[in-house]
C-alpha cells in the first residue's frame, strides 16, 4: 500500500521567514495530494491540495509543488505569521476507491 | 451549520469496558470516516462509510465496530477497550468518497475525542 513520509517532524522559524515541509510517497498511482493544518485541540482542516496534472499551486502565502518523477511534494509558507503555528499533515491518494494516507505531521512554530 | 460534531470530547475507560463514540454531520455529505491519531503516526483510517448503508474496513479496524445509523450519523464502538486504543479519535465527512479528485472529495474533520484506556 501507499506510504507517505514527512519531514521535518518539527520546524521553528522566525516571523516573516519562509517554511518548507516535504513529503515523499511510494505509490506511483497516487494523483491527489492534500495538505491539512491542525491547530491545538481541533481537527485537521484542508488548506491546499494539488492534483497530478499540475506541478505547482498557490493560494496567497501558501504554495504546494509536486514532482511526480521523484514522487515528492512540498508545502511552502512565505512571510510566516504566529497564527501559522500548528501541525501540518500531508496526504496522498490514488483517488479511485482508495483511502487518504497521511504523513506523520510537522509541528511548525513561528516565533516573534 | 455546525459541520462535524463529535461526542464526547474526553473519555476515560478501564480495560474491558465498552463505549460508543458518536459523530454527526449536517452538510448532507454522503461519505463518513473514523480515524485515530497517535503521536508520531499521523492519522490512520479505522473504518469508513462511502454512502448510507455501507461500511468498510480501513487500515486499523481490529477492536472496533461501526454503524452508519443514517446519512447524518456514523458511530464507532469499542466492545472491550484496551490500553492500545488510547488515542485521539476523529470523525470526518465528505460529499463524495475518494473515488475522484474533485473538491467534493474534501474531508471535513470534527474536533476529536480524546480517549484514555487504563
Nearest CB among B43, B48, B110 relative to A102 is that of B43
Give pLDDT, residue B98: 57
Computed over every residue of chain A, the mean pLDDT equals 92
Nearest CB among A44, A95, A96 relative to B109 is that of A44
Q: Do A96 and B42 touch (CB under 8 A)?
A: no
Q: Do B44 and A102 touch (CB under 8 A)?
A: yes
Give pLDDT, residue A99: 75
Q: Which residues of chain B have pLDDT under 70?
A: 97-104
CA distance A50 to B26: 27
Q: Do B42 and A44 touch (CB under 8 A)?
A: no
Q: Categorize the per-residue pLDDT at A95 as very low, low, confident or very high, splitting at 50, 70 and 90.
A: low
Give pLDDT, residue A26: 96
Cell of A72: 515528492
Residue of B nearest to A34 (CA): B106
| Per-residue pLDDT reduced to its tens digit, A19-67 | 999 999 999 989 889 999 999 989 999 999 998 777 899 999 999 999 9
CA distance to partner chain B, nearest, from residue A73 (Å): 17
**How distant is the alpha carbon of residue B58 from its chain centre?**
11
| Per-residue pLDDT reduced to its tens digit, B65-90 | 999 989 999 999 999 999 999 999 99
Closest by alpha carbon to B108, among B82, B85, B68, B74? Answer: B74
Amino acid at each position: 500500500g501507499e506510504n507517505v513520509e514527512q519531514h521535518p517532524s518539527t520546524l521553528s522559524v522566525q516571523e516573516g521567514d519562509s517554511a518548507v515541509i516535504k513529503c515523499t510517497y511510494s505509490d506511483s498511482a497516487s494523483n491527489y495530494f492534500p495538505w491539512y493544518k491542525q491547530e491545538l485541540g481541533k481537527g485537521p482542516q484542508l488548506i491546499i491540495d494539488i492534483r497530478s496534472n499540475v506541478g505547482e499551486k498557490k493560494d496567497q502565502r501558501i504554495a504546494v509543488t509536486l514532482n511526480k518523477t521523484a514522487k515528492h511534494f512540498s508545502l511552502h509558507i512565505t512571510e510566516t505569521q504566529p497564527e501559522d503555528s500548528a501541525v501540518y499533515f500531508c496526504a496522498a491518494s490514488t483517488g479511485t476507491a482508495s483511502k487518504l494516507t497521511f504523513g506523520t505531521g510537522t509541528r511548525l512554530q513561528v516565533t516573534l | 451549520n455546525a459541520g462535524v460534531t463529535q461526542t464526547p470530547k474526553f473519555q476515560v475507560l478501564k480495560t474491558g469496558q465498552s463505549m460508543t463514540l458518536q459523530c454527526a454531520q449536517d452538510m448532507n455529505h454522503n461519505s463518513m470516516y473514523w480515524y485515530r491519531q497517535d503521536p508520531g503516526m499521523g492519522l490512520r483510517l479505522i473504518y469508513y462509510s462511502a454512502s448510507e448503508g455501507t461500511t468498510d474496513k480501513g487500515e486499523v479496524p481490529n477492536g472496533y465496530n461501526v454503524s452508519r445509523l443514517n446519512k447524518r450519523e456514523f458511530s464507532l464502538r469499542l466492545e472491550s477497550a484496551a490500553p492500545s486504543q488510547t488515542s485521539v479519535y476523529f470523525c470526518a465527512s465528505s460529499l463524495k468518497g475518494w473515488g475522484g479528485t474533485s473538491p467534493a472529495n474534501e474531508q471535513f474533520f470534527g474536533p476529536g475525542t480524546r480517549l484514555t484506556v487504563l
